[in-house]
Amino acid sequence: MRDKIKWLKNLKRFLTIHHLLAGISVFVMAFSWYFMSDSTVIGAPGDHLLEAFSLDSWSGDQTGTHLTAIYGLILLMISFPLIRVNVIERFKVRWPTVFFYVILIIFAMNRITDAIAVDIKAQLQGLKSIEYIEEGNIFEYQWEDGQLEDFVMVFTLKNHNEDRHKFSIMLDSRWMRKDDEIPIKILNKDGSLAIFELYGRQEKRFVITSHDYSYSDGKKLNNGSGFSSIEELILTNNHEQIKLSDHHYFGQIADVALQVDKTSDVALQVGKTSDVEAFDSLEATYELNYRSYDEEAKIDVILRRVEGHKIIWDKVWSDIMLTELSPYSELVQRDDKLYIEVSGKLYVINQADGRQVFEPVRVGSGEKPVIDEEGNIYYVGFYDPFASKVSASGEIVWQINHLEAYYWPYNLRIEGQSLLIDCEKTDDTSVYDLKISKNTGRLW
């Protein structure tokens, strides 16, 4: 008991009011930097703190004066005389030592904040569980006669909970709102609303091009081309509409009309239901769906032929691991065959009985197979190989395993004796058209 009393007395002598004031002074400086500088996940914590108390973090709509920075600088200026009096002069501590502890405190607060933010994000329901990862996004466009003739949009979304989400996408920005412009809606080529999806815990890089999609609304520009980043995304399903950006990590409720000329054939479903994509032919319907595992980031991919209410055959790929890329490609019908990539392997399937025409070929994960008039199959993959040509009988004609200067190949198409591939360079985020010989696989 005496030892305990002695220990408390020693602690009391050490933790004087002067020590308390010194600690508060150092914390004020650390907090001022933490308040106004971006963390890894949520941007400036001060923005969220101000908005939690219904205060503005910017003088305009994410434009004008960043009020968070002003408040942070005021705190920072206050902290200097506090530290000089309570730390430097009283305890004879040097400024480099003070700055070391300030940096240490800022680092600890940022790590704790990011961990809490990710945990909160995982607990959110619906589309608010989706994070927009701003790094590496691209929006390249070309305007002619007031129309967006050519565009490439690349961005990454991450689903933090276990549910699968389907949604439409709109692009918005503070500059578009300032000019009273309507957000750009992503449509299918037939004018219906394009539907996108994320599996549970999946991080996915979306590549949207004018080759596969159309658009409506948006800002009308003069003729010419341009390049910019994607500032904000608006995700919509049947239940909610959420705006995502680096300023709105937790999602902000939006209210933008979604009227389009045509309605999509695919409903915007949410939750753990097994969603189905149907591909009609003259004699049958092909359904491509999945079955998820609640306890693991895995799915079973199921392809079946249905005639009326009768299942003629089905093919199942079991235990497919989910990654940042889609576990399967778009299903392509050609003559009496079906073409699909599942988990990086190309499958060619006989429509009549569901049997494989040949053994699967490793082609990487990509968008969809492209078939020429002779039945040769071409594919580009985000994981090696970079590009492949497979004969109608399943033999590898050529493969490009790796290109040092290029990555993220997509939008493969045939033009004469050449293959055209959109991709990025390792030292440049601009989009390039890579031209490859269809016969040899060599760069032109």
Span 37-65, pLDDT tens digits: 888 888 889 988 888 888 888 887 677 78
Place of tokens 């991709």: 423
- Which is higher by pLDDT, 32 or 257? 32
Percentage with pLDDT > 90 across the chain: 30
Percentage with pLDDT > 70 across the chain: 81
Could you give the CA distance from residue 407 to residue 304 in angstroms, rounded to a whole number?
A: 34
Contact between 242 and 234 (Cβ < 8 Å): yes
pLDDT, mean of residues 194-213: 83
Q: To the nearest 10°, the Cα dihedral for 262, 263, 264, 268? A: 150
- Rg of the Cα trace of the chain? 28
In the predicted structure, residue 148 carries a pLDDT above the cut 70: no
What per-residue confidence (pLDDT) applies to 260?
Answer: 45
What per-residue confidence (pLDDT) applies to 430?
Answer: 63
Could you give the CA distance from residue 405 to residue 33 in angstroms, rounded to a whole number?
A: 39
Could you give the CA distance from residue 82 to residue 97 in angstroms, rounded to a whole number?
A: 15
Element (H, E) at 143: strand 130-144
Could you give the CA distance from residue 399 to residue 378 in angstroms, rounded to a whole number?
A: 10
Place of tokens 């895995």: 298
Torsion sign, CA atoms 79, 80, 83, 85: negative
* Mean pLDDT taken over the chain: 81
- Which residues are 390's β-sheet partners? 377, 396
In the predicted structure, residue 176 carries a pLDDT above the cut 70: no
Could you give the CA distance from residue 10 to residue 103 in angstroms, rounded to a whole number?
A: 29
Contact between 132 and 118 (Cβ < 8 Å): no
SS3 of 94, please? coil
Could you give the CA distance from residue 413 to residue 419 in angstroms, rounded to a whole number?
A: 6
- Which is higher by pLDDT, 424 or 171? 171
In the predicted structure, residue 203 carries a pLDDT above the cut 50: yes
What per-residue confidence (pLDDT) applies to 12?
Answer: 56
pLDDT, mean of residues 195-204: 82
What per-residue confidence (pLDDT) applies to 218?
Answer: 56
Q: In terms of Cα–Cα distance, which of 262, 150, 142 is closest to 208?
A: 150
* Mutual angle of helices 17-36 and 67-83, in 10-degree steps: 150
Element (H, E) at 19: helix 17-36
Contact between 369 and 378 (Cβ < 8 Å): yes
pLDDT, mean of residues 321-338: 85
In the predicted structure, residue 294 carries a pLDDT above the cut 60: no
Neighbours of 320 (CB within 10 A): 18
SS3 of 194, please? coil
Q: Where are the domains of the chain?
A: 2-123, 127-253, 274-437
pLDDT winner (highest mean) among 126-130, 218-222, 274-278, 300-304? 126-130
In the predicted structure, residue 34 carries a pLDDT above the cut 80: yes
- Which is higher by pLDDT, 364 or 278? 364
- Which is higher by pLDDT, 263 or 320? 320
pLDDT, mean of residues 388-417: 88
SS3 of 293, please? coil
> Out of 46-55, 66-75, 109-118, 210-219, which region has the weakest mean confidence (pLDDT)?
210-219
What per-residue confidence (pLDDT) applies to 224?
Answer: 60
pLDDT band at 85 (very low <50, low <70, confident <90, very high): very high
Could you give the CA distance from residue 255 to residue 60 in angstroms, rounded to a whole number?
A: 19
What per-residue confidence (pLDDT) applies to 310?
Answer: 74
Q: Is 353 exposed, middle or buried, given 0-12, 13-18 or 19+ CB atoms closer than 10 A?
A: exposed
What per-residue confidence (pLDDT) applies to 271?
Answer: 33
Fold entry, domain 274-437: Lipocalin (2.40.128)
Q: In terms of Cα–Cα distance, which of 14, 34, 38, 25 is closest to 95?
A: 25
Contact between 314 and 351 (Cβ < 8 Å): no
In the predicted structure, residue 72 carries a pLDDT above the cut 70: yes
- Side chain identity at residue 349, one-letter code: I
Span 215-266, pLDDT tens digits: 876 555 555 667 777 888 999 988 889 989 877 788 888 766 555 444 333 3
What per-residue confidence (pLDDT) applies to 56?
Answer: 87
> Out of 146-160, 218-232, 319-333, which region has the weakest mean confidence (pLDDT)?
218-232
Contact between 110 and 222 (Cβ < 8 Å): no
Sheet strands (E) in 189-275: 196-198, 203-209, 213-216, 224-228, 232-236, 241-245, 248-253, 270-271
Place of tokens 């998820």: 292
What are the helix (H) ranges across 57-190?
67-83, 90-91, 95-123, 174-178
